[in-house]
Every structure is written in C-alpha cells, then in structure tokens.
Amino acid sequence: MNEIIRDPNKVDVFDTTLRDGLQAIGVNVDIEGRIEIATQLDRMGVDIIEAGFPGSGKSNSEHEFEAVRAVAMEIGSATVASLCRAVPADIEKGWEAAEPAKDKGGARLHIFISTSDVHMQQQDKTPAIVVKETISAIEHAKSLTDDVEFSPMDASRSDFGFMMGVCMQAVERGSTVINIPDTTGYMDPRQYAQMMRLAGERIHKTHPDVVISAHCHNDRDMATANTLEAIGAGVRQVEVSINGQGERPGNARLASVVSGIHEGTSYFPAEIYTGVATGELTYASQMVADLSGRPLAVNEPLTGRYAFAHGSGVHQDGVIDDKETYECLDAEDYGQIPAEIVVGSLSGKAGVRSRLRAIGFKPDYEEVRAITVYAKEYAAVIGRDLDDPDIEKIMAESRGEQIKNSIALEEIRKIEDSPLSEIILSERGKTFIVRADLRSKAITTAGKAINEALAFDGKVTHLQSHALRETLEAEAGAYIDVVSNGSSIKAYAEAESIDAASIKAYLAAISLIRRIDERKEA
C-alpha cells in the first residue's frame, strides 16, 4: 500500500478523469471503458485514481457504485479513491466500492462539504452544522481506513478563517490529505498560491505530515497556472484530469501540469518531480478523447495531433535541419513524433521532400519542385492539408504508376439484437469480416479486430472526426495518425458516418504502411 508519509519532493498526481471528468456534459463511459482508462492511468504512474462518486444520489448511483468497485478490483498499483459527501450513507457506500483496492495500491475516502456562504445558504446549513458534520464524517471515515482526504468545497470563495477552521477539525480527526479547491475557477494564480501557502503554514505547524492538495477549475482558463503556482507554494498533491475534462470548462490538464513540473526546473527546485511516465500521455489523451466522445483539438498542447507538427516552409526548413529550431520540448517525451511535417498550402520543397521520403520514395530535385507546386495548389482546392495517401497518389501519378493493394471498407452491418456490428473488408480479392462494438469507440474496438484479421501491428496515436455539411455527399470525415514498423502515417477519409470515416481512414493508413514496407524491400 502507498505510504501516508511521502517524499517531500514528490508531487502526487491525483487523477479525477473518472469522477469530475465524467461529469462533463454529454460524456458517458461504460464500466469497460472506465477500467480501460484506469488501467492506463495506473500504467503511466498516476498515484491516486478518483474512480467515481458511488453515493452521488443520482438515478445512476448504483451504476456508479459498480464502476468504482470494478476499478478497485482491477487496479494494482495506484490508490483508488471514492468521493463522498459528509453523510454516513455516502461514506459506507464509498468504502464498500473502494475497499477491494485496500491491500493493493490502497483505498481512499475523499470527503467533501461546502464552506462558502453561498453554498451553505443554498444547502440551508449553518457554519455550526458544517463543523459538526465534518467532525462526524472524518471520524466515520477513519473508522474504515487510514487514508482520508478532506475537501472544503468552494474554498476559494469561503471566509478563509472559517474554511481553515473546518480543515483543522478534519486534520485533528485524522485526515491525511487536505484538498483546497478553487471549485468555480474564481482565483488567479497569485491569489490561489497565497491561499495555499497560508493554508499549508497553518496546518503544518501542528501536523507536518498532512499533504496539501490543489484542485483547480478552468472557468477563467487559469487551472493549470493556478495548480503550478500552488506547487511553488508547497502543495504536494495535484488533482487533474486527462485533457482537462470536467465540469463546465473542466479541470487542470494532467499533461500540462506534469510537463510544467518536469520542464520547469528554472521555476521549481530540480528535486521536485512526479512519478508519471510522460511518454504515455499522448496515448492516454487519445484514449479518453475516443472513449468519451470528445475529440481533441488538433493543436491541443503536448498531446494534440499537431502539437509537434510544422506546416509553413520556413518552420519546416528549420526543424528538418534541427528540431530545436522551433521545438522547446522533446516530442518523444510525450509519446509524439518530433518535427512532424504536414504538407499544405504553405509548405516548401524541404517539407515535401521529407514527407515523400517518409512514405518510401526517393525523389529527385525536379520531382520535388513540381510536386511542391502541385501540392500547394491541391491543398487550396480541397480545403485541407494533404494526408500521406494524397502525397503518395500525386507522386505515383507524376511517374505514371498505379497504386495497388489497398484495403477497402465494403460495408458496416449492424447485427440484430446485438451490440456488435460486422465490418466487411476486402483486400486483393479476399473478403474479411470482423465484429466490433461501434456504439461509442469505433477505432478502440474495431482497430483491435482489424489488426487481428489483417495481421497488422500498429497503433492509433490520434483520431479526429467531424460532421460535414449536409450538402456534401459524405456526412463525416476523419483524420487519423497510425504508427507501425518505424512509419508514422497521416490519413483522411470521408464516409456516410463517423464510424465508417474513421475505419476508412485507418484502412488507408494500413494500406500505405504496407506499400512503404514493399518499397523498402524493392
């Protein structure tokens, strides 16, 4: 189990994707998906996984309970936390859900109660009632587990003296972590850091082993900055989520906070660190985007499709010679490809030559010059950057060659009275039928089945799908990035549905990767 007393230089990462992240409007992830996310969080070294809110009182509270318990039973290294209101029924149910993790990574109860005037008035509670319920809740939780976290909800809009008095009552009753949330994204970085510094000084006078935690919302786009400033003020637990997913504009982004710690040695002491394997961040980011149905912005910092990509000729020339010309981070550290070249209307000859070589061609100067001119014009006509099959087609046509051996999507057919669909593929006159659940995660599930059917070893690093205007023949488009056997390929496809477009783009990438392998052997 995790030790309560921790290395003072280590910042524990508390991930709330499965609790706050799933409170984002329109997001629904089934238990299987939650386990998949939790397993990835555990693999990448997250310290605490807040698996849900088992006693939420919502109509789906039983489902929430089962989801938290399923995660607690599966996870081996991370502590699993249950969120609970300061009421006995919540605490009992929260512990029953998290208990299976107690002899592995550990089980935590996370108790919260509101301390701001606006919340107390809305809930018809007096300050005396809040203090009484806090004391009772922490004592109850401590009778079940040693690992108890306490949060005064809406702390940043609370009277500081009262809020800290409630926190001290929780500490005196044995709370091991005090989380002081900026629940509405109310404070700026200086204000939040000052509050956290004062809170830490007050608590650590008598209880130096209590961990102070930061939980910041992004209503004013300051969640990451507030969290990093809080670390500078002495906080040693940060509450974050994958892609910043959460209520309203969300929470502090896990990737941004971890990067701020790992890359910020000029701001933080060099000894400050987390246990997160940053090379897993892009995969985790894409997984959550896929499972939750919330696509990443292509320019999402660190984990987006174009986070380390370059489109203009000047930038492409620079990074081809030395990626540090326009990149201050190591893309590989975040699971990305460094100095990726995207061919579009602003590209130059160096960028086009780079992509041609990446897909297996050895062009001469005249070919590069002619294709650069044509590619720039073509990108303007189609209204998007060129994907790798586009570039391959232009090169092949310029040489009078035909592109062969593409894998085609023939049909997607729903199986009656089943969650599964049949995906019919054809390659070189041979038909393949694979089955997958396409209800919420086409590539996550279909990709595995397609890989097995085609004996393909590859991984999707990015998927971006979108609806098209109704006036177009196709109704959806999908961009996809696939890595396999040393090749990193970008593909695009349009189809009658997002599922079909995603699968067609995936098949286009697989087809090209196979042709690249053939060119290498030629």
54-85 pLDDT per residue, tens: 987 655 678 899 999 999 999 999 999 999 99
Give the per-residue pLDDT at 58.
57
DSSP 304: S
Interatomic CA distance for residues 261 and 384, integer angstroms: 36
pLDDT at 2 over 60: no
pLDDT of residue 332 exceeding 80, the answer is: yes
Distance, CA of 150 to CA of 163 (rounded, Å):
12
C-alpha span between 77 and 102 (Å, rounded): 11
**pTM for this predicted structure:** 0.90
Q: Is the pLDDT of residue 5 over 60?
A: no
The pair of structure tokens assigned to 153 is 């909800």
Q: What DSSP character marks residue 468?
A: P
Contact 40, 67 (CB under 8 A): no
Condensed to tens digits (0 to 9), the pLDDT of residues 87-144 reads: 999 999 999 999 999 999 999 999 999 999 999 999 999 999 999 999 999 999 999 9
Give residues with Cβ within 8 angstroms of 25, minimum separation 6.
Answer: none
Q: How far apart are CA 133 and CA 126, in angstroms?
A: 11
When the pLDDT of each residue in the chain is averaged and rounded to a whole number, the result is: 93
Q: Are 128 and 89 in contact (CB under 8 A)?
A: no
Distance (Å, whole) CA 163 – CA 198? 12
Helices (H), 99-126: 117-122
Please give the average per-residue pLDDT across 271-295, as a whole number: 92
Asked if pLDDT for residue 522 goes beyond 70, the answer is no
DSSP 8-state assignment for residue 349? H
d(CA 455, CA 435): 15
Pick 19 or 63 by higher pLDDT.
19
Could you read off the pLDDT of 466-512 as tens digits, one per residue? 888 665 667 899 999 999 988 999 999 999 988 899 999 999 999 99
pLDDT for residue 1: 41
Mutual angle of helices 254-263 and 223-232, in 10-degree steps:
40
- Write down the residue that tokens 């919502």 correspond to: 58
CA distance 396 to 445: 33
59 in helix, strand or coil?
A: coil
pLDDT at 391 over 70: yes
